[in-house]
C-alpha cells in the first residue's frame, strides 16, 4: 500500500537546475521525489502523486521531502554555498493541514538552514482552493526569509486579479504552453501574456518544460526570467547517504 511504502522511506529525492535567460546558471535545486520500486527503478511523481492524494498521504510525503532536502543542505556544505535557492514542491493537502506549518518552522530551527535559501512551490489550483490558508502559510514563512513560487500557472482558474495580492516571488509558466512555443502561436502568446502579467505584478517568471535550446531561445526572446527542463539539465538523484 502507499502508506506502508511511505513508512519504509521508499522515496527518492531528485533535483533539477534552473537557468537564467542570460545563460548563467541560477543554481536553483528544484526538489521533488519519486517512489523506488523493489526492482530499484524510480517511479516518476506523475505516476503516484494522484494515488497519494487519493489516500491522503501527500502531507507525509511533503514532510519527507522537506526533511530530506534540509538534511542534504546541511550535509553538503559546498553545494549549499553554490546554490542560490532550493525549491520544494508542496501539495494542497499540506496547506490545509494545521500541523504542517509548525513542522516546517521546527525544521528550520532544528537545521539552522537560512530561510532565504528555500523557495516553496504551490500549484495555482491548490493556492486558490486554500487561498486564506496559503496566504497565512506564506506570510509566516516569509518572516523567516523564505521565497514562494506559484507552480503550473495557466492550468487552473487563471484569474490574474488575485496575483496583485498573492505574496509569491515567482510565477512558473505551465509546461503545456511552453512546449508548444516553437510551433503554436496560441501557446507562444499564452507564455508572453503570463510572463508580462507576472512582471507587472512584481514577480519573476520561470518557464517549465524547456526541453531544448530552441525553446530556451524563444523564452529568452519573450523576456522570461528563468527556464527549467531537460534543455537546462536532467533531474539528478540526491545521494541517499546525505539524507539517510
Q: Round to whole Å and give the CA distance between 8 and 72.
A: 19
Provide DSSP, 47-113.
Answer: GTHHHHHHTT-HHHHHHHHHHHHHHHHHH-HHHHHH-SEEEEE--HHHHT-TTHHHHHHHHHHHH--
Res 16: pLDDT: 61
Q: Round to whole Å and give the CA distance between 110 and 243.
A: 15
Res 15: pLDDT: 58
Res 55: pLDDT: 85
Domain ranges of the chain: 2-243
Res 131: pLDDT: 84
Res 129: pLDDT: 84
Res 57: pLDDT: 86
Res 183: pLDDT: 96
Question: What stretches in the chain show pLDDT beneath 50?
Answer: 1-9, 22-27, 36-38, 240-244
DSSP-derived 3-state class of residue 143: coil
Res 61: pLDDT: 87
- Cell numbers at residue 66, please? 522537506
Q: Full-prediction pTM beyond 0.75?
A: yes
Task: Report the CATH number of the 2-243 domain.
Answer: 3.20.20.450
Q: Are strands 42-43 and 25-36 parallel, antiparallel or unpaired?
A: antiparallel
Res 155: pLDDT: 76
Amino acid at each position: 500500500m502507499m502508506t506502508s511504502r511511505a513508512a519504509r522511506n521508499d522515496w527518492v529525492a531528485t533535483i533539477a537546475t534552473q537557468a537564467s535567460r542570460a545563460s548563467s546558471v541560477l543554481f536553483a535545486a528544484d526538489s521533488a521525489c519519486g517512489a523506488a520500486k523493489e526492482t530499484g527503478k524510480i517511479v516518476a511523481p506523475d505516476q503516484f502523486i494522484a494515488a497519494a492524494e487519493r489516500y491522503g498521504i501527500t502531507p507525509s510525503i511533503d514532510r519527507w521531502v522537506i526533511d530530506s532536502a534540509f538534511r542534504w543542505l546541511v550535509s553538503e556544505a559546498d553545494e549549499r554555498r553554490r546554490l542560490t535557492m532550493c525549491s520544494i514542491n508542496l501539495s494542497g493537502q499540506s496547506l490545509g493541514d494545521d500541523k504542517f506549518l509548525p513542522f516546517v518552522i521546527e525544521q528550520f530551527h532544528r537545521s539552522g538552514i537560512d530561510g532565504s535559501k528555500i523557495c516553496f512551490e504551490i500549484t495555482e489550483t491548490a493556492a486558490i482552493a486554500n487561498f486564506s490558508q496559503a496566504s497565512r502559510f506564506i506570510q509566516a514563512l516569509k518572516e523567516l526569509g523564505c521565497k514562494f513560487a506559484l507552480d503550473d500557472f495557466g492550468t487552473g482558474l487563471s484569474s490574474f486579479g488575485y496575483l496583485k495580492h498573492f505574496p509569491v516571488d515567482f510565477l512558473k509558466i505551465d509546461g503545456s504552453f511552453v512546449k508548444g512555443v516553437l510551433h503554436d502561436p496560441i501557446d507562444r502568446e499564452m507564455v508572453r501574456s503570463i510572463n508580462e502579467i507576472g512582471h507587472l505584478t512584481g514577480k519573476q517568471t520561470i518557464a517549465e518544460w524547456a526541453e531544448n535550446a530552441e525553446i530556451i531561445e524563444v523564452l529568452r526572446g519573450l523576456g522570461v526570467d528563468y527556464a527549467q527542463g531537460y534543455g537546462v539539465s536532467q533531474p539528478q538523484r540526491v545521494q541517499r547517504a546525505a539524507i539517510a
